[in-house]
């Protein structure tokens, strides 16, 4: 298990609203789960484990409490997989723009 130390950059999870507290006009599948907030910050405590209740200080100076979810978290988003059709359209559009565009074509 990874040692988590005071000052480590971590991500915590905090349930903001429980399912029964959610707005009744939300879609059913949304109402069935809690509203969750994730916050990253510097850990205030030593000798903690994933899942423990901890406090962190964010880059803006706020102190937030929640359950320790990750140590040294990274971003894991992408813009999806390569789509050959979109690449072909991009090349065709580039050619049209270099040629002067659709307005200059003969009807």
Mean pLDDT of 51-78: 94
Region for 52 from its dihedrals, namely left if φ exceeds 0, alpha if ψ lies in -120 to 50, beta otherwise? beta
- Interval 13-38: pLDDT, tens: 999 999 999 999 999 999 999 999 99
Q: What is the dihedral of CA 93, 94, 97, 99, to 10 degrees?
A: -110
Asked which of 10-24, 52-66, 88-102 is least confident by mean pLDDT, the reply is 88-102
With respect to residue 46, please indicate whether it lies within any of the assigned structural domains.
yes
What is the domain count for the chain? 1
Tokens linked to 80: 């999806």
Mean pLDDT of 63-85: 91
With respect to residue 77, please indicate whether it lies within any of the assigned structural domains.
no
With respect to residue 47, please indicate whether it lies within any of the assigned structural domains.
yes
Closest CA to 73 of 8, 18, 15: 8
Q: What is the pLDDT of residue 100?
A: 77
With respect to residue 98, please indicate whether it lies within any of the assigned structural domains.
no
Q: What pTM value is reported for the model?
A: 0.68
pLDDT tops 70 at residue 105: no
d(C-alpha 91, C-alpha 107), whole Å? 23
């Amino acid at each position: 298990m990874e040692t988590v130390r005071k000052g480590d950059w971590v991500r915590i999870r905090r349930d903001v609203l429980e399912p029964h507290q959610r707005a009744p006009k939300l879609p059913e599948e949304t109402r069935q789960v809690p509203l969750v907030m994730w916050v990253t910050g510097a850990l205030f405590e030593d000798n903690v484990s994933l899942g423990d209740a901890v406090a962190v200080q964010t880059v803006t100076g706020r102190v937030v409490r929640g359950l320790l979810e990750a140590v040294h978290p990274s971003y894991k988003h992408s813009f999806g997989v390569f789509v050959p059709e979109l690449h072909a359209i991009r090349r065709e559009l580039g050619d049209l723009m270099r040629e002067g565009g659709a307005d200059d074509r003969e009807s």
